[in-house]
Structure 1
């Protein structure tokens, strides 16, 4: 169920670099959360140069939103964010003030994948 949405300025990463970043995030998430790799989904959304802003000024910012099932501890999510930050910064070379990450949670009862309602994290130990 994890869905990573990565938004960045067009040209920040070429196709091969996106594939490498996707593989790195997939491997990390599968290992960290203990889920099969085929549960991890990653979508890149590129925006035109001049369409990203930080502090009201044009900037090539990188945003990543991760949608996961609720039920993980704050410590778990903080550690996850730190590792994702490193992966994204290494891949994009973006400055620290140009990266924004966030985790959104949804109750398992409100998530579907492969035609099935997702199990609770507590029931399965997966994210």
Structure 2
């Protein structure tokens, strides 16, 4: 179920960098959450220069949104976000003021993957 959406300004990450970041995110999330790697999906989106803004001014902002099943503790999510920050910053070289990460949660009963309703989170 984990669905990562990584949004960057066009050209910020080449194909090799995207593949490397996707591999790191997959390994990390599989280990951290204890889910099979094939559950983890990653989508890269790009926007043209000038279409990213911060404080109303053009900015090559890097955004990562993660959709996960509900049921994880706040401590779990804080640890998750901290590690994702490191992976994203390492891959993009973006400064702290140009990165944003958000976690969205969905009830497992309202998500489906591989033809199956998602199971509840355990542990």
Q: TM-score, normalised by structure 1?
A: 0.96
- How far off is 1:59 after superposition? 0.3
Partner-residue secondary structure (3-state), 1:51: coil
Aligned to 1:20: 20
Q: Using the alignment, how far apart are the partners of 2:16 and 2:38 within structure 1?
A: 20
Aligned to 2:68: 68
Aligned to 1:33: 33
Q: Mind listing any 5+ residue stretches in structure 2 that lack a counterpart?
A: none
Structure 1 residue ranges (4+ consecutive) displaced by more than 2 angstroms after TM superposition: none
Aligned to 1:57: 57
Q: For the aligned residues, what is the CA RMSD?
A: 0.6
Aligned to 2:79: 79
Q: TM-score, normalised by structure 2?
A: 0.99
- How far off is 1:37 after superposition? 0.4
How many residues align structurally?
A: 123
Partner-residue secondary structure (3-state), 1:35: coil
- How far off is 1:53 after superposition? 0.3
